[in-house]
Chain A
Amino acid sequence: AQSVAQPEDQVNVAEGNPLTVKCTYSVSGNPYLFWYVQYPNRGLQFLLKYITGDNLVKGSYGFEAEFNKSQTSFHLKKPSALVSDSALYFCAVRDRPGGYNKLIFGAGTRLAVHP
């Protein structure tokens, strides 16, 4: 079965420092991977996705993610964190290839950026 794991419940970083939010996946076939962000009492906002091609994917708000097939990872990164980046981040993988594209989500990582 497809699955994702986010090993950190919370990540703390100082404003202006680089940030990394980790995600590992387990899939059969080629993975379709996604990152979403959720602000308090809000729905999920799409940040970026990896389907194929370059391993470094650039997305919204200066975020990027690196796909690493050998380590089965898809870590979210940003060179310089902002206090406004503080939110809940979810990694997701598309369910089985050829299926109806429902997403399987990780448990989420809370990012706290301190001034």
Chain B
Amino acid sequence: DTGVSQDPRHKITKRGQNVTFRCDPISEHNRLYWYRQTLGQGPEFLTYFQNEAQLEKSRLLSDRFSAERPKGSFSTLEIQRTEQGDSAMYLCASSLGAPQETQYFGPGTRLLVL
């Protein structure tokens, strides 16, 4: 069990650029979550996948944000036309498909938009 991995760990970009983050969940986990954490706050839910299906999206996920999990394994989160307010830590978590499962988090991708 190698845990949840995320790439890159850090990203600095200029306002208006597009960025893409990758998450590799624990191999047998079919549920995958994206959260966003800003300084001094707890993580906030962005979106959820069960296998390849995106089943829930937060209102926080504006139309500039898109997430995919094409083969039910890794997932990508893309932010188009980044804004300074997008600066945050983006966390990915995965879990088994049982009703009482625990979510295991990756190390996160810290995004800074200049």
Contacts and interface: CB of A to CB of B under 8 A. Distances in A.
Interface of A: 32, 34, 36, 41-46, 49, 51, 90, 92, 95, 100-108
Pairs A-B, 7 closest by C-beta atoms: A105-B42, A43-B105, A44-B105, A102-B45, A43-B107, A43-B108, A51-B100
Contacts, number: 59
A14 B41 CA distance: 25
Contacts of A32: 100
Interface residues of B, number: 29
B42 A106 contact: yes
Contacts of A101: 31, 95, 99, 101, 103
Chain B interface main SS type = strand
Given A100-B48, A101-B31, A92 B108 contact: no
Given A43-B4, A100-B50, A101-B95, A36 B105 contact: yes
B89 to A, nearest CB: 8
B100 A42 contact: no
Contacts of A107: 40-42
B104 A46 contact: yes
Contacts of B99: 101
A90 B93 CA distance: 15
A106 B95 CA distance: 20
A65 to B, nearest CB: 14
A42 B107 contact: yes
A103 B45 contact: yes
Interface string B79-114: 000000000000101010001111111111010000
